Each structure stands twice: as C-alpha cells, then as structure tokens.
Amino acid sequence: MANSWFRLYQEFATDPKVQSMSEIMQRRLVMLFCLRCGNVLETLQEQEIMFALRITEEEWRETKQLFVSKCFIRFISDKCNIINWNKRQFISDTSTDRVKRYRAKKETFLKRSKRVSETPPDTDTDTDTDTDTDKETIQRKKERSIKPTEGKYGEFKNVLLDQSYVDKMFRQYGQDQLDAMISMLSTWKEAKHKSLLTDNAGALSGWVKREYKPVPIPKEAPHG
C-alpha cells in the first residue's frame, strides 16, 4: 500500500553529498523519493523515469551516474532502487500497530456516539436536584422510624443504640470502655459514610469488641 508521505530527514539540508549537488539535481533526487513513496519507482523503465522527471536521455545519464556514485540509488535487474529506503522510513510493524490503535479508538468512539444517539433525551433538566431531594426524603423517613428509646451516640452522633443495650454494655464494661468503643464505631462510620441505621449494636458486639478488647467488670461476690 502506497504511503501518503515519506520521511525527509533534516540532514538533507546539511549533508555534504546533497549540498555539493546543484538545485536541479536535488530536485530530481526528491522526485525519485516521491516515486519510491508511491511504490512505482521500482516498476518503471528508465524511459518512464525520464518522463516522470521531465528530463532528456542525456540529462538522465548524467543524473543516474551522479546518484549512483553518491550511493543514492542502485539498479537491480535494470530497476531503479533507492538505497536504504526502508531504514530511512522506519517501515515496520510499528506503523501497523498505530493504524490498529487508531481504528480501535475510532470504532469505540462510533459505538459510544451510537449509544448516545439512541438514548432518549432527558426532559428533566433538574435531575441532580431531584436526586438530592429524594435522598433527603429517604433520610428523613429513616430518622422518623427511630424508636423513642433509641439515642444517637458518639462524636458524630451517628451511632444509634437502644437505651437497654447501652445499659447492658455499661454494666459489663463501665462508662470509660463503653465510651471508647462507641467513639471507635462513630469515627469509623463517619469515615465510611455509613448510614445512621447501620447495625450499630451488632458492630459493637462484634468487630469493635474484637478490636478494642474491653475488660469486663468483675462481678461482686454475693453477700453471705
């Protein structure tokens, strides 16, 4: 497949082999590069090359001799070849990979565009506000469902516990240890953005106790 462009390195402007030639010869060399870029140079007869360069047979002999001597071109089976063309152009699988990546991105873009075009338009322009309102309504309903005997504990008032459970924990571990465990749960819930109605009693009786390792208050011996 023909390339649309070929690489002409900046050394072309400073290479002594190039700069020692006339501008006419430099132009003819670039024209040969163009023919090679189009993958036609190696298929042309010398008469066809002369026609492409718009030069006479005598001018072609002079041009051919100069380019061969400077190792710009060579002839294989009477076909003109640019020396080191592939090396200069970096022709490799990398080009193919770039094309594949481009096509994959284009396909992904088209699929996304199709999905967007098929999605019904949202006539409600205040969706975010409605969503926030719904969340607030749900939260208020949850708070109204709290039993009168349940209280909010902890630094962030986000640990909901029944008073009978608090009394039970107080009798087992005392106020200091109970406050410390509730504080641990309150801080964790705030960091994790847990709802007020998460199983607070279950957490205190479960992982909080395992982490904090409270020491039960010794029971007093019955009087004889």
Threshold 0.85, pTM exceeds: no
Give the span between the Cα atoms of 169 and 86, in whole angstroms. Answer: 82
> Does 125 fall in a domain?
no
Tens digit of each residue's pLDDT (9 = 90 or more) over 125-149: 455 555 666 766 666 665 555 666 6
> Does 130 fall in a domain?
no
Give the span between the Cα atoms of 144 and 36, in whole angstroms. Answer: 82
Alpha-carbon distance values, 196 to 156, 183, 213 (Å): 10, 14, 24
- Domain with 47, as residue range(s), is 10-89
Higher pLDDT, 77 or 150: 77
Tens digit of each residue's pLDDT (9 = 90 or more) over 177-193: 999 999 999 899 888 88
Residues in the chain: 224
> Does 101 fall in a domain?
no
Q: At which residue do the structure tokens 């006539």 appear? A: 123
Q: How many domains does the chain have?
A: 2
Residues 78 and 152 in one domain: no
Average pLDDT over residues 8-22: 89
Q: How confident is the model at residue 49 (pLDDT cuts 50, 70, 90)?
A: very high
